[in-house]
Structure 1
Amino acid sequence: MGELFRSEEMTLAQLFLQSEAAYCCVSELGELGKVQFRDLNPDVNVFQRKFVNEVRRCEEMDRKLRFVEKEIKKASIPILDTGENPEVPFPRDMIDLEANFEKIENELKEINTNQEALKRNFLELTELKFILRKTQQFFDEAQLHHHQQMADPDLLEESSSLLEPSEMGRGAPLRLGFVAGVINRERIPTFERMLWRVCRGNVFLRQAEIENPLEDPVTGDSVHKSVFIIFFQGDQLKNRVKKICEGFRASLYPCPETPQERKEMAAGVNTRIDDLQMVLNQTEDHRQRVLQAAAKTIRVWFIKVRKMKAIYHTLNLCNIDVTQKCLIAEVWCPVADLDSIQFALRRGTEHSGSTVPSILNRMQTNQTPPTYNKTNKFTDGFQNLVDAYGIGSYREINPAPYTIITFPFLFAVMFGDFGHGILMTLFAVWMVVRESRILSQKAENELFTMVFSGRYIILLMGLFSVYTGLIYNDCFSKALNLFGSSWSVRPMFTSPKANWTEDLLKHAPVLQLDPDVNGVFNGPYPIGIDPIWSIATNKLTFLNSFKMKMSVILGIIHMLFGVTLSLLNHIYFKKPLNIYLGFIPEMIFMASLFGYLVILILFKWCAYDAATSKSAPSLLIHFINMFLFNYSDKSLPMLYSGQKGLQCFLVVCAILCVPWMLAVKPIMLRQQYLRRKHLGTHNFGGIRVGNGPTEEDAEIIQHDQLSMHSEEGEELTSQFSYQQDFLVISSAEVAKEESDVPMVTVELFDFGDVVVHQAIHTIEYCLGCISNTASYLRLWALSLAHAQLSEVLWTMVMHVGLNVRSLGGGILLVFVFAAFSTLTIAILLIMEGLSAFLHALRLHWVEFQNKFYVGTGFKFMPFSFEIIREGRFDD
């Protein structure tokens, strides 16, 4: 249970894997997903590593599978996903997989090539069919026109038979040549203008649209085309026309001149089209069968290939022993999972058939381990909120468990509405109940996926909003009268102030309830705010005062809790210097000023009742006078006896904490440094020899880690320490493994840097206490904004439908309620909910976590097949 509040304890381990068993062992570790491999060959080019050929073969297989997948999706064939997790193929199975994928790829390429050629031929024949049909229509229209204009049959025959200019004899009547073709419909206007300009108006163009769109054989898209026929005279115009047609990518087809020839050609074209359509159908059926067979197993193939690729990529991170029989790997792993890791290594060795067991050896290191926080489906969303700010430093306190409660609660303080909270809860409950079905569907909508991953956050936000809505007594801007008002709207007639006549109640727009009248105020409301405030004219004034004080109280408690968590870090990392010179003055400073303000608020609520509330002094004036030591104003009564002396004492304590934080720590660090330096010079001639810093030396805090490698493989490392520590670098030059030379510690200390850093921290903390407290007033501001928006929406929309008291009003109410529901979801749930979410996130990241959370670690990224199993292949 303790590991929930801190990251897992990690260790650096060395693995010795036999060459024949390395593949299976890494495979088992990938299935387990508990180790992070380190690259032991950082200076070796990726193309010069041992298993680069195997990685290339896997990439080639992956490419072929992506091609097959693309063809399956193009054919709109569903890919079967049974959720199966196939075992990793053995290296010897790679040849069979390659041959199988090669066969499928070649078969599909051959089918596609043949199909494309058939479709191109089919398109040409189809276009030719339409050309013959449309040109026949052109000539039929021309004959009809000539029949109407001229009665001479000889002239009609001459004008209908079009011959080439070369066939015209001297003195023969004028004959015109023509070309026919097909062009994309959108190019017709430009094509016509170009013909007119280039040929100077000496051509005649007729065009007609093809009703049915034609399929492009390459892209498969539908293209709208038109048939055209161009009449011209002479070879010169003929050449110009053909060049223009080439420029506009128009397809020209031979068209016979006589109707009989066109009819015979059309019959032959239709026969060929029918035969070609039959061949195309058979080809498409064969292609569908191949793709359907591949769709059943392509997901399993993807998983197998990418698991193999991941294994070989991981093996490239290992060192190879000089005997070429052993691979050496270094991994980060949780200490709690060492037994399961060793069991996985044993299982991998058995699968490979090796008789030599793999060895796991824990190593001692000065390097900072990665941060690993175990999560489940409930805590994962909250951990992601924390990690979005920064990955926690190794083994420091984890804010996520506390965020599970504080984040939805602060959200609900700003969002508090009983009705809106119920709607949000119902939406979250729907996602939680159907989570298995939604996960199996693998929705591709990125926005919904993000919302779904935070379903438990939304669930708690909705539940807390229901609670705060009851406290505010606010449900869609209306109060709920659950227990009856504690204010009596019918005052006792025995009181002289209670003579409210029936006529007065009917005509007076505003009446005042005096809480000082006996019998009017019947004690506090059982839960939340009395519903009578919803009709009071001073409702906003009352709620503002209540919510502002509540925001200050919650904010200061939240910050004090954050400072308290820093104590747990100091204790865990054994930093007493940080406790005495950091935590204690910080806590005194905040508690003596802002903690006292919380006590004043609670005291005023308890000390003054309805009878004495009018004489209650202003807390804001008291708090300002406390800082100014101004107690000369006798018109401002004290809250309690001895207030002046206590407040002066608290301010003096807070002022004394500033030099305590500012100067004492740098001076003590300098004294420790001088003492260590003196001891080292006295005992070892200026160089201290030992096994590293002692526990007392650990009090010299460090911020940065230096890591260098010399040409001989020696390593210069330094330790990290915790937040608000200073630049005191203890470096250790580690000798070679074979040597028995002890470590040499060289210490660096810059007093000026330490003073500057501590001054920055002190100023930041002291001013931050003021600014952070003011920042929590956003709880009040967002709550006020949400309540007012809800009230405006009810008044401007819903109230309109409720005011019409007739049958038409009932019909109108249906449409008004639809508009009200839409605006409620869009504005109050989505927009206001997102606003409150972001402000709650800021309060945790800035005001809460900066008191104890460093967030300078790096995340534990284990080698795992989980991403591949989930089907997120592109990650």
Structure 2
Amino acid sequence: MGELFRSEEMTLAQLFLQSEAAYCCVSELGELGMVQFRDLNPDVNVFQRKFVNEVRRCEEMDRKLKICQPTQSHWLSLRFVAGVISRERIPTFERMLWRVCRGNVFLRQAEIEDPLEDPATGDQVHKSVFIIFFQGDQLKNRVKKICEGFRASLYPCPETPQERKEMAAGVNTRIDDLQMVLNQTEDHRQRVLQAAAKTMRVWFIKVRKMKAIYHTLNLCNIDVTQKCLIAEVWCPVSDLDSIQFALRRGTERSGSTVPSILNRMTTKQTPPTFNKTNKFTSGFQNIVDAYGIGNYREINPAPYTIITFPFLFAVMFGDMGHGVLMTCAALYLVIRESRILSQKTDNEMFNMVFAGRYIILLMGIFSVYTGVIYNDCFSKSLNMFGSGWSVRPMFETLNENKVLQLDPAVPGVFNGPYPLGIDPIWNIATNKLTFLNSFKMKMSVILGVIHMMFGVSLSLFNHLYFKKPLNIFLGFIPEIVFMASLFGYLIILVFYKWTAYDAFTSKDAPSLLIAFINMCLFNYGDVTNKPLYRGQMGIQIVLVLIALACVPCMLIVKTMVLRRQHLWKNRHLVSSGMAVGLSVDVVPIKRALILEYIPDAHLLSLQFDFGDVAVHQAIHTIEYCLGCISNTASYLRLWALSLAHAQLSEVLWTMVMHLGLSSRSGGGFFGLSIIFAAFAMLTVCILLIMEGLSAFLHALRLHWVEFQNKFYTGQGFKFVPFSFESILEGRFDE
């Protein structure tokens, strides 16, 4: 567990790249996508860097290629407007178009030889005809507004080639002599454009890669000889061989005879956090990263979240029918993921659902499992093994008063528990809600305490890995003992009550909630709530005293030990300084002088603020102790949302589907089809989407607040490697 489920071990490395091989080496590293470059020129303006001209040329080519970039429908067609404008306004008109449209329009204009008569004034004016090519509705609106501002007259022009030919045939006869030349030119241009269209996507990718490479090269330093580039990168230790091979491959591509060098550097800077993922685990890692990027080499909650997140969701959502529908929807996305990925869409909602397809798949599977436990399928129970209650007395009761209340204390009625899940007879009992309330409330507390204790246990592995024994003895042990003494004992009482009291004596069982409150208040004179077992008072007093003793261990003892460690470290460094020739007055000396003589003086803090440390420890202790209570209560949302989902499903069945099945009108199959369509639509919209989203958000909160805060700091920064895949992904529709 020391190395399991941790972020990748990272190292800071220095690259020495020959100038002629730098481009190819960085290109290979981009294809690999395993190094994160550091900016070694933070004080240099972006317009003063060495490769700024290359970046500008790439941006200009990128701008030109955007006009003909590929889209979902293979290619976008160019659109245009045509009209006439006063000849003297042409230069200003052209500049305004270029600036407002950022160079994404193409203007062609020609002077009209004969002057035209102004219909308003009757004067003879000289005008020019123009045509403006552009792409998209946004540019169309801008072009039209500019034309209106310059008082240009726009004329409708057909867009199809056939209509344009018909109009051209009716123009002046002088164009007829040039028609053959124009047709040949058009054919030639079409062939050239078709040939270029086949490689347009390749050009676009190459330009984007070149631009990214030159941006990265601008992060490097150049030695005095101008023949070597020096870069610093963060990279995973496990991928060093792959990075070396990429550098060697880039050097060979460039034809350079001088190899590129990679040296590991020793640094005290905190490395970025890198967790390797695949298409299955990436969704769960995103859930964890949304809370905060983990500290370097901290335990990663994502692998545990793969199981706990869909399970807690299913506890709130549990229904066999709804779980099957959710599983089928997720399976469709999983099976057709290759085709869906090839057909990218701009629908953000669909893209978000598709990215979490494996999360939804597990949530659906777990919901089927909990639905079996609850014996709930579209609010109906399935009688698979026969009821554990005597059926004949049940029907006699229903025939007499139409009300059925199940009471296991009645002799000859209850024969034993149902083999799997909830007995289906409870579905028609009027005290069903009372029974499920007790069952699901206790189940929620059990699951919540186990989940929290597991989170506290994971903090032990962090303390062991980072070699912090003080946090183990005065942090982890008091925390786990405090929680186990109070809430772990509460779980034991729940199981003890289930086993010690059978169906016939359950009414006489004492209340666990009142017993737990009396335990914390040392109130043992309550005659209304008798003890569960002999010697209960003594054991509970000892457990509460143990829990209370853990509080000063975290609050006071740890603070005093930290202060003592600081004083001991100061004395040790002072004595080390005297051994190397420093005077006795070493403490008042400036920190720079201490660092010069004592290598470990970076650990020395000349002042130890006891008040700050005490306040910080007090906040942590109070937060943990009160959090154990509030977090346990927070898990009751498992009980509340589970009942809410079941009741809402039952209401939907009663008010919609039940009416259609019990109707005796002549509508027959047609009426039932309409009712079933309404029931299906409401089931999907309300019970699957709305209720599913609600359960998802509550499960998210349980993991972020109640589980992860026990061991996960989440204050690191993410490893962002230089990768062509991430640069090009989703950028073709910009």
- Shorter-chain TM-score range: 0.7 to 0.9
The answer to whether residue 21 in structure 2 is matched with residue 21 in structure 1 is: yes
The answer to whether residue 529 in structure 2 is matched with residue 636 in structure 1 is: yes
Distance (Å, rounded) in 1 between the aligned partners of 2:104 and 2:481:
81
1:219 deviation in Å?
Answer: 7.4
Q: Which residue of structure 2 lines up, in the alignment, with residue 458 of structure 1?
A: 360
Change (3 A) 1:411 1:44: same
The answer to whether residue 484 in structure 2 is matched with residue 591 in structure 1 is: yes
Which residues in structure 2 correspond to 1:170-319 (within 5 Å)?
271-272=170-171, 291-319=193-221
Change (3 A) 1:576 1:742: closer
Indicate conservation of the 8 Å contact 2:106/2:132, yes or no.
no
Distance (Å, rounded) in 2 between the aligned partners of 1:273 and 1:288:
26
Q: Which residue of structure 2 lines up, in the alignment, with residue 37 of structure 1?
A: 37
Indicate conservation of the 8 Å contact 1:631/1:644, yes or no.
yes
Q: Which residue of structure 2 lines up, in the alignment, with residue 789 of structure 1?
A: 648
Larger radius of gyration: 1
Distance (Å, rounded) in 2 between the aligned partners of 1:556 and 1:219:
63
Indicate conservation of the 8 Å contact 1:25/1:345, yes or no.
yes
The answer to whether residue 712 in structure 2 is matched with residue 843 in structure 1 is: no
Change (3 A) 1:649 1:309: same
Which amino acid letter does the alignment assign opposite residue 539 of structure 1? K
> Deviation digits for residues 792-816 of structure 1, max 9, x if unmatched?
1111111221121354132111111
Q: Which residue of structure 2 lines up, in the alignment, with residue 571 of structure 1?
A: 464
1:505 deviation in Å?
Answer: 5.0
The answer to whether residue 512 in structure 2 is matched with residue 619 in structure 1 is: yes
Q: Which residue of structure 1 lines up, in the alignment, with residue 95 of structure 2?
A: none
Change (3 A) 1:676 1:74: closer
Q: Which residue of structure 1 lines up, in the alignment, with residue 675 of structure 2?
A: 816
The answer to whether residue 719 in structure 2 is matched with residue 860 in structure 1 is: yes
Which amino acid letter does the alignment assign opposite residue 622 of structure 1? A
Q: Helix, strand or coil for the counterpart of 1:524?
A: coil
Q: Helix, strand or coil for the counterpart of 1:68?
A: coil
> Deviation digits for residues 797-842 of structure 1, max 9, x if unmatched?
1122112135413211111111111111111111111111011001
Q: Which residue of structure 2 lines up, in the alignment, with residue 171 of structure 1?
A: none
Indicate conservation of the 8 Å contact 2:652/2:679, yes or no.
yes
Change (3 A) 1:329 1:246: closer
Change (3 A) 1:347 1:482: same
1:670 deviation in Å?
Answer: 0.8
Q: Helix, strand or coil for the counterpart of 1:409?
A: helix
The answer to whether residue 484 in structure 2 is matched with residue 582 in structure 1 is: no
Distance (Å, rounded) in 1 between the aligned partners of 2:252 and 2:133:
52
Distance (Å, rounded) in 2 between the aligned partners of 1:509 and 1:459:
42
Distance (Å, rounded) in 2 between the aligned partners of 1:828 and 1:732:
69
Indicate conservation of the 8 Å contact 2:478/2:554, yes or no.
yes
Indicate conservation of the 8 Å contact 1:733/1:743, yes or no.
no
1:679 deviation in Å?
Answer: 2.8
Change (3 A) 1:580 1:274: farther
1:658 deviation in Å?
Answer: 0.9
> Deviation digits for residues 97-149 of structure 1, max 9, x if unmatched?
xxxxxxxxxxxx999645x879x99xxx9xxxxx9xxxxxxxxxxxxxxxxxx
The answer to whether residue 451 in structure 2 is matched with residue 549 in structure 1 is: no
1:665 deviation in Å?
Answer: 0.8
Q: Helix, strand or coil for the counterpart of 2:69?
A: helix
> Deviation digits for residues 718-745 of structure 1, max 9, x if unmatched?
xxxxxxxxxxxx999877xxxx995643
Distance (Å, rounded) in 2 between the aligned partners of 1:804 and 1:218:
65
Q: Which residue of structure 1 lines up, in the alignment, with residue 688 of structure 2?
A: 829
The answer to whether residue 61 in structure 2 is matched with residue 50 in structure 1 is: no
Which residue of 413, 426, 441 maps to 2:315? 413
Which amino acid letter does the alignment assign opposite residue 10 of structure 2? M
Q: Helix, strand or coil for the counterpart of 2:667?
A: helix
Which residue of 262, 268, 287 maps to 1:366? 268
Q: Which residue of structure 2 lines up, in the alignment, with residue 487 of structure 1?
A: 389
> Deviation digits for residues 280-305 of structure 1, max 9, x if unmatched?
99988777655544332211111111
Distance (Å, rounded) in 1 between the aligned partners of 2:356 and 2:174:
59
Distance (Å, rounded) in 2 between the aligned partners of 1:732 and 1:306:
50
Distance (Å, rounded) in 2 between the aligned partners of 1:600 and 1:606:
10
Indicate conservation of the 8 Å contact 2:69/2:75, yes or no.
no
Distance (Å, rounded) in 1 between the aligned partners of 2:172 and 2:104:
22
**TM-score, L = length of structure 1:** 0.71
Change (3 A) 1:247 1:366: closer
Deviates more, 1:62-71 or 1:359-368: 62-71
Which amino acid letter does the alignment assign opposite residue 306 of structure 1? R
Change (3 A) 1:291 1:516: same
Change (3 A) 1:283 1:483: farther
Which amino acid letter does the alignment assign opposite residue 37 of structure 1? F
Which residues in structure 2 correspond to 1:594-609 (within 5 Å)?
594-609=487-502
Q: Helix, strand or coil for the counterpart of 2:68?
A: helix
> Deviation digits for residues 7-48 of structure 1, max 9, x if unmatched?
000011111111111111111111111111111111111111
Distance (Å, rounded) in 2 between the aligned partners of 1:676 and 1:112:
73
1:560 deviation in Å?
Answer: 0.3
Which residue of 372, 376, 399 maps to 1:506? 399
Which residues in structure 2 correspond to 1:293-442 (within 5 Å)?
293-442=195-344
Which amino acid letter does the alignment assign opposite residue 678 of structure 2? A
Which residue of 539, 545, 558 maps to 2:451? 558
Indicate conservation of the 8 Å contact 1:77/1:295, yes or no.
no
Distance (Å, rounded) in 1 between the aligned partners of 2:29 and 2:646:
54
Change (3 A) 1:300 1:640: same
Indicate conservation of the 8 Å contact 2:573/2:598, yes or no.
no
Indicate conservation of the 8 Å contact 2:406/2:426, yes or no.
no
> Deviation digits for residues 503-527 of structure 1, max 9, x if unmatched?
x753421244542355432321111
Which amino acid letter does the alignment assign opposite residue 589 of structure 1? F
Indicate conservation of the 8 Å contact 1:319/1:327, yes or no.
yes
Deviates more, 1:782-791 or 1:365-374: 782-791
Change (3 A) 1:449 1:220: closer
Q: Which residue of structure 1 lines up, in the alignment, with residue 552 of structure 2?
A: 659
Deviates more, 1:566-575 or 1:672-681: 672-681
1:683 deviation in Å?
Answer: 4.2
1:459 deviation in Å?
Answer: 0.3
Q: Which residue of structure 2 lines up, in the alignment, with residue 645 of structure 1?
A: 538
Which amino acid letter does the alignment assign opposite residue 437 of structure 2? N
Q: Helix, strand or coil for the counterpart of 1:6?
A: coil
Change (3 A) 1:453 1:816: same
Which residues in structure 2 correspond to 1:24-173 (within 5 Å)?
24-69=24-69, 76=76, 113=107
Which residue of 619, 623, 635 maps to 1:776? 635
Change (3 A) 1:395 1:275: farther
Q: Helix, strand or coil for the counterpart of 1:649?
A: helix
Runs of 5+ consecutive residues of structure 2 not aligned to the other structure:
79-102, 124-129, 138-147, 156-166, 583-589
Distance (Å, rounded) in 1 between the aligned partners of 2:510 and 2:149:
94
Indicate conservation of the 8 Å contact 1:391/1:857, yes or no.
yes
Indicate conservation of the 8 Å contact 1:303/1:868, yes or no.
no
**TM-score, L = length of structure 2:** 0.84
Q: Percent identity, aligned pairs only?
A: 72
Indicate conservation of the 8 Å contact 1:72/1:295, yes or no.
no
Q: Which residue of structure 2 lines up, in the alignment, with residue 711 of structure 1?
A: none
Which amino acid letter does the alignment assign opposite residue 765 of structure 1? Y
Instruction: With a CA cutoff of 8 Å and minimum separation of 6, indicate the structure with the bigger relative contact order.
Output: 2
Distance (Å, rounded) in 2 between the aligned partners of 1:605 and 1:837:
31
Indicate conservation of the 8 Å contact 1:798/1:820, yes or no.
yes
Change (3 A) 1:285 1:678: same
Indicate conservation of the 8 Å contact 1:680/1:686, yes or no.
no
Change (3 A) 1:298 1:248: closer
